[in-house]
Structure 1
C-alpha cells in the first residue's frame, strides 16, 4: 500500500491573493503620498508666478489678492483665476492640471496658461506649445465657456487638453466671492426675515445662498444674497446688497437691506419701506429670472427711487446667477458620467478582439495574428499612444482613474491587470502592447543571436525589479523625476516624446534583434509587474519574487514616512 499523499498546507491558496494585496497596498501608499501633498479642495489656490500671468497679459506687473492684474502704473488690465484646487477632479492622462484663466476688463476670456501639472510632462508640454488650444475659449463669457462642448483637443495630448477644459468649466461653475460685500450678513438682519435664526450655512453649489438654521440645526429656510451677482449695479453712488428670504419651498417671503454704498437717508428709506420689502412675496425664486421687470411696475421707494430700483434689479440678477450656477453644476454632474467618444469605441473594440484572439485557437495563425498586430501597432501605438506604463499607473494611483475621459484606456488597463490574475494569461504583453508587437516582428530576423550566460542572466532579469523599486521610491517620496523616461512607450507619440524614452525604445529594439524579446524579458517593469500577478503552477508557493515585492512595499512605506 502506497504512502499517503502529503496534504497541501491550507494557506497555500491564499499566497496568490497576497500578491494582489501587496500590489494594492503599494498603490495605496502612492495615493496617500499624493494626498498628503495635494492642495485641499476648499483651501487656498497656489501662489501665482507673474511670468506665467504675463503670457496672458504681457504688460502685467503684479496681481492683487482678488486676482486683478495690474501694470506698472497700477492700471487694471483684467483679472485671472486658477482652476486648482476646485478643478483638480479633472484627471487627464495621469493627473490634473492647474490652469490659469485670463479675463479682460470686459469679463471675456483672454486665454489659458498652464500654471502646473501633475499629468505626464510630455503631454503638458505639448499643450503649452499649442497656442490655438490655449486661446480656444477667447472672447467667451463665463457662462458661454461653461456651455462650450466643441473643443479641438491637442493631438498627442488629447486627454490632458480635454481635462484642462473640464477643469476650467468646473472652476467657472463655482460661486464667486464678493469684494465689495465680503462678510456674511449679521444674524440681527437675518432675524428680520427669520426671527428664530441661530446660524447660517453656505449652500454647497451657490455660496451666496445661505441655509438658515435654528438652535436645533433645523432648516428654517434660505437667504439669497444679491452680492456678488449685483455688485456692478450702481444706484445713486454705489451698489447695494439685499437679502431675499426663501421658505423651504424656495418661495420669497421678504427682503432686507444689508449694506449699501449709496448715501443716507436713501438707504434708510429703502430699509424701512415694508411695501417695497414685501413686493416679491409669494413668487418662486426660480421663476423670477423669467419675469419681465416692467410687468411688476416697480416704481421704487419715494425719495430713494434710484437706490430701490437698483436694489430690486439686483434681486433679479442674483436669482438668475443662482439658477445659472445650478444649471452649470448639473452640466458638471453630467460630465462625471461616463461618455464614450469615437476613440473609446475603437480602443474597446481592439481590446475585445485582442482578448478573444488570445483565448481562441486562432491565436497562432498568421492570417489572424498579423493583421491584428498591425492594428495594435498603428492604432494603439502611433494613433493613440495607449500603453500600460508605470507613469500611467502611478498617475492613476496618485490622482484617480479618468473614467469619463478615457474609458477605452481604462478598459485596456483593467484587462491588462485582471486577466493575468484570473486566467493565467498575460493578454496585454502577448497581444495588446504595440512595443511587444514590434519585438515579435524583429525576433530572429538576423542570423547571429546572442544568448546571455548563466552568470549574467540573473543580473539582466533583475533590471525590471530595480526599475520597479525606483518607481515606488519616486512615487512615494514625490520626487520630480519623470517616469516616462524609463520606458519606451511615449516614443510612439514621437512629436511629444523626450530623448530619454526615445533612447530606451531604440536600445530595446536593437537588442531584440540579437536576443528575442530582449526588452520584454530584461527591461520592462510593467511586464514584470503583470507577470508577477499572473496565476501559474507555482502561484501557491512563496518565492524570491514575493520577497522582492515585500521589499518594494517596505521601501514605499519608508519613503512615505521620511
Structure 2
C-alpha cells in the first residue's frame, strides 16, 4: 500500500513573487527618498552664485531674478538659464545634471557650466575636465541647438554627457524668451495688482505665465505677460508688455503696464487710466479666448489711442497663445493613444552594438553551445573588450540606485536599459542568471583566472558563512545610503568603474584588484563573496527552493525595514 502524497500548500508559488515585491518595495522607498529632496518640475530653478557665472562672463557683477547679467555699470553682458528642474528628466548613467547655459547679448551660447549633479561622481568629473565639451555649443543659437543631432560625447562619460545635451534641449525647447522684454516685471508694478507680492516664479511649461507669491510663499494668483506673444505689435512707435492679473480661477482682476518701447506721454496715459486697466475685470481666460480678434472693437485711451489699442490687442493674442498651447497639450493627452505619445528612444551606434551583444549572450546562455569553448571564449572576449573597456556597461548598485531615484533613461541609453532588464528579468522567469554567467565583464575575467595556479584555498566551514554574508552587508549599506540620502559614492564598493580606468577612483580600483587576486586562489571569489549585485540577482532567481521561505528572505525583509526607518529619520 503506497503512502499518500503530501499536498503542496497553495501559497508556496506566491513566495517567489513575494521576493520580487520586496525588491520593488525597496526601490520605491529609494525613489520616495529622492523625490522628497528633488526640485519639482514646475518649481523655481535653484539660485546661482555669481562667482560661477563669472567663469563664462568675467565682467558680470550681478545676476537678476530673470537670469540677466549686469556689469559694474549696470549694463547687460548676457544672460544665463539652467536646465533644472525642466531638464531633470534627462537621466545620465545614474541621475540628472543641472547645467548652466550662458547666452551672449546676441543670444548665442558662450559656454556651459555644471552647477550640480545626481549622476556618478567620476563621470561628472570627467566632463568637467573636458573644456571642449563644455564649449561644444559655443556660437549656436537656441534654434540651432534644438535642431542639432550630431553631438560629441565625452569618452568614459558618454551617458552623462548625452544626458546633459538632452537636458539643455528640454530646457530650451519651451517657449522662447522675449528678446525685447527679457526682464521680469518690477515688483512695484506687480503690487498694483497684488499688493502683497514678494516673489515671481516663471512657469516652466509656459514662461510668459508668472506665479505670484507673498513673503510666506503662499500663492496670490498669476500674471500673464503679453510678451513675447505681442512683441511685434507696434503702437505709436514700439511694442508694450502688459500684465494681466489672474485670480485662482484664472479670472482677470486687472491690467498693468510693465514696460514699453512706445513714446511718452502716451505710455503714461495708458499706465494711469483706471478705466482701461479695469476693462476686462471678471472675464475668464476662456471667455477672452472666445472673442474674435478681427471683430474686436477696443475703446482706446484718450490721447494714446494707438498705444492702448496695441496693448489691448496684445492681451488677446497672449491669451490666445496660452489657450492654444494648453489645448494642444490636452489634445495630445486625450486623443492620441498613449503608446504613440511615448517618446521614441534615440538609438545610437553604441545602443545597437550593446543590443546585439545582449541578444547573442541570451541566445548562447540557452543554447547547447554555452559550454563549447569555440563559441564561449570569443564571446567572452567581446564582452570583456566591448561592454567592459569600450562602454563600461555594467549592472551595478550605483546604477540601480540612481535609476530608482531618478528614473530609467530608456530614451537616451536604450542598450544599457535592455542589458539591465535582461539581468533582472531572466533569473525571475527562466532560472538562469544570464548576466553573471555571460554578460558581466568582471565575471568573464574571473572565469579566465579560475584555477590558473596550482595552490587553491578553500574557506573553512566556520569562515564560509561570514564570507557569504559580505554581499548582504553591502546591500544593507546600499539601502541605508540611498534611503537616507547620504553623499557616499556607491561606485566605491564595486569594481566596475575600474574598467573605465581614466575616470576610476582608488576605491573601485582597489576592489577590482583585490577581487581578481582572490579569484586566483578561490574560484569566482568576488562573485561568491563580494558582489552585492550578483547576490541581488541570485536572490530573485527561480530555483528548486524558491517556494520555501528561507533565511535570505528574512534578510530581504530586514533590508526593507532598514530602508523604511532610514526614510523616516
Determine if the alignment matches structure 1 residue 368 to structure 2 residue 369: no
CA distance in 1, matches of 2:170, 2:35: 20
Contact 1:335–1:404 at 8 Å: present in 2 too? no
Determine if the alignment matches structure 1 residue 400 to structure 2 residue 407: yes
- 1:524 equivalent in structure 2: 531
- 2:265 equivalent in structure 1: 264
Equivalent of residue 491 in structure 2, options 463, 476, 484: 484
- 2:78 equivalent in structure 1: 78
* Residues 171/369 of structure 1: CA separation in 2 closer, same or farther (3 Å cut): same
- 1:88 equivalent in structure 2: 88
**CA deviations over 1:264-288 (Å, ceiling 9, x no partner):** 346769999xxxxxxx9459xxxxx
SS in 2 for 1:115: strand
SS in 1 for 2:54: helix
* Residues 484/234 of structure 1: CA separation in 2 closer, same or farther (3 Å cut): farther
Equivalent of residue 506 in structure 1, options 502, 508, 513: 513
SS in 2 for 1:163: helix
- 1:295 equivalent in structure 2: none
Contact 1:174–1:325 at 8 Å: present in 2 too? no
Q: What is the Cα deviation at residue 72 of structure 1?
A: 4.5
Determine if the alignment matches structure 1 residue 559 to structure 2 residue 566: yes
SS in 1 for 2:116: strand
Superposition RMSD on alpha carbons, in Å? 3.9
CA distance in 1, matches of 2:30, 2:415: 24
CA distance in 2, matches of 1:535, 1:482: 31
- 2:220 equivalent in structure 1: none
TM-score (norm: length of structure 2): 0.79
Alignment of 1:71-470 (within 5 A): 71-175=71-175, 176=177, 179=183, 181=185, 205-208=205-208, 226-228=226-228, 239-241=239-241, 261=260, 262-265=263-266, 281-282=293-294, 336-470=343-477
**CA deviations over 1:442-483 (Å, ceiling 9, x no partner):** 111111111111111111111100000000000000000000
Larger mean CA deviation between 313-322 and 426-435 belongs to 313-322
Query: What is the number of residues matched between the two proteins?
Result: 503
CA distance in 2, matches of 1:455, 1:204: 60
Contact 1:237–1:263 at 8 Å: present in 2 too? no
CA distance in 2, matches of 1:384, 1:451: 35
- 1:213 equivalent in structure 2: none
Contact 1:173–1:325 at 8 Å: present in 2 too? no
Q: What is the Cα deviation at residue 489 of structure 1?
A: 0.5
Contact 2:257–2:270 at 8 Å: present in 1 too? no
* Residues 234/80 of structure 1: CA separation in 2 closer, same or farther (3 Å cut): farther
* Residues 378/320 of structure 1: CA separation in 2 closer, same or farther (3 Å cut): farther
- 1:542 equivalent in structure 2: 549
TM-score (norm: length of structure 1): 0.80
- 1:55 equivalent in structure 2: 55
* Residues 383/323 of structure 1: CA separation in 2 closer, same or farther (3 Å cut): farther
**CA deviations over 1:115-136 (Å, ceiling 9, x no partner):** 0001111111111111111111
Q: What is the Cα deviation at residue 491 of structure 1?
A: 0.8
Contact 1:70–1:76 at 8 Å: present in 2 too? yes
SS in 2 for 1:502: helix
Contact 2:42–2:203 at 8 Å: present in 1 too? no
Q: What is the Cα deviation at residue 310 of structure 1?
A: 8.2
Q: What is the Cα deviation at residue 78 of structure 1?
A: 1.7
* Residues 325/508 of structure 1: CA separation in 2 closer, same or farther (3 Å cut): farther
Contact 1:477–1:559 at 8 Å: present in 2 too? yes
CA distance in 1, matches of 2:34, 2:449: 40
Larger mean CA deviation between 117-126 and 302-311 belongs to 302-311
CA distance in 2, matches of 1:440, 1:139: 51
**CA deviations over 1:33-61 (Å, ceiling 9, x no partner):** 00011011111211213332222123433
**CA deviations over 1:409-444 (Å, ceiling 9, x no partner):** 111101100111111110000000000001101111
Q: What is the Cα deviation at residue 322 of structure 1?
A: 8.5
CA distance in 1, matches of 2:304, 2:456: 95
SS in 1 for 2:111: strand
Q: What is the Cα deviation at residue 157 of structure 1?
A: 1.1
Larger mean CA deviation between 484-493 and 233-242 belongs to 233-242
Larger mean CA deviation between 482-491 and 147-156 belongs to 147-156
* Residues 479/315 of structure 1: CA separation in 2 closer, same or farther (3 Å cut): same
- 1:290 equivalent in structure 2: none
CA distance in 1, matches of 2:322, 2:103: 21
Contact 1:111–1:137 at 8 Å: present in 2 too? yes
Contact 2:483–2:567 at 8 Å: present in 1 too? yes
SS in 2 for 1:411: helix
**CA deviations over 1:16-42 (Å, ceiling 9, x no partner):** 111111000000000000001101111
SS in 2 for 1:55: coil
**CA deviations over 1:486-517 (Å, ceiling 9, x no partner):** 00101111111111111111111111111111
Q: What is the Cα deviation at residue 62 of structure 1?
A: 3.4
Unaligned runs of 5+ in 2: 194-201, 211-222, 245-254, 277-291, 333-339
